[in-house]
């Protein structure tokens, strides 16, 4: 089967939207958004208010939504995040579309937004539609390599059944995972957000899941930092932030 060549998550306006000058402006805008969020204002209305003030594009406003998080939720996510060394004894519950699309975007050289919670998020915005592309198998190969390197005991992929091609992707995951040496399951579920609520060892960048799961791991960022050097990371932290995971986030490996 010939796979479609696609630059996942790319928009022709990205070079201008996330230029050095634009990122400086977006950092200021994000500071103001977080200040308002901490005082109880709603995310979408705040992004529209601040975005309108700075005359930001729709794509820039989406990036701000991806990056923004209140300080209280940032603290909560830091408390429930497991260091990567924990993979050695933690069965992983993977938000399948979320992780795979993130890696496809990274492999495409399209922008990834580094959120205030230290999580990388893409701007692909597929909205219920998904097609397997030339980057998909490569993304799965990196996931398999990560499980091997980290010593993961098992992995369960949760795929939203209503999303197009979820069944095909599930079969592809199982086919690729046969060579990983790690037990892998695929679960087609009505809503991954609901299925992963309260779960442990969750791998996702979805804010709703991060706020509802018992524990999570920043696997997507870990993979990208180590093996996808061409990834375009837009860091909206004031002053440039922390582009690499800290020792506390990674843990110490023997």
CB 128 within 8 A of CB 163: yes
Distance of alpha carbon 217 from alpha carbon 119, whole angstroms: 10
Full-model pTM: 0.94
Please report, in tens digits, the pLDDT of each residue of the chain (254 residues total): 567 778 999 999 999 999 999 999 999 999 999 999 999 999 999 999 999 999 999 999 999 999 999 999 999 999 999 999 999 999 999 999 999 999 999 999 999 999 999 999 999 988 789 999 999 999 999 999 999 999 999 999 999 999 999 999 999 999 999 999 999 999 999 999 999 999 999 999 999 999 999 999 999 999 999 999 999 999 998 666 566 777 677 876 54
* Domain layout of the chain by residue ranges: 12-68, 76-250
112 SS3 class? strand
């Amino acid at each position: 089967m010939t796979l479609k060549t696609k630059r996942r998550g790319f928009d022709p306006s990205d070079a201008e939207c996330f230029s050095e000058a634009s990122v400086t402006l977006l950092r200021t805008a994000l500071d103001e958004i977080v200040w308002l969020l901490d005082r109880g204002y709603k995310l979408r209305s705040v992004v529209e208010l601040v975005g309108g003030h700075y005359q930001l594009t729709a794509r820039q406003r989406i990036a701000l939504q991806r990056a923004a998080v209140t300080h209280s939720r940032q603290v909560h996510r830091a408390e429930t995040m497991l260091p990567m060394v924990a993979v050695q004894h933690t069965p992983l519950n993977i938000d399948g579309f979320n992780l795979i699309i993130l890696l496809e975007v990274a492999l495409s050289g399209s922008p990834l937004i580094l959120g205030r919670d230290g999580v990388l998020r893409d701007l692909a915005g597929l909205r219920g539609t998904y097609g397997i592309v030339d980057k998909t198998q490569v993304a799965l190969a990196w996931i398999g390599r990560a499980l091997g390197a980290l010593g993961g005991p098992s992995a369960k992929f949760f795929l939203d059944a209503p999303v197009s091609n979820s069944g095909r992707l599930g079969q592809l995951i199982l086919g690729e995972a046969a060579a990983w040496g790690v037990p892998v399951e695929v679960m087609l579920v009505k809503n991954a957000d609901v299925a992963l609520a309260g779960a442990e060892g969750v791998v996702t960048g979805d804010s709703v899941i991060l706020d509802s799961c018992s524990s999570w791991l920043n696997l997507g960022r870990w993979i990208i930092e180590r093996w996808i050097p061409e990834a375009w990371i837009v860091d909206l932290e004031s002053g440039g932030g922390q582009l690499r995971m800290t020792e506390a986030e990674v843990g110490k490996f023997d």
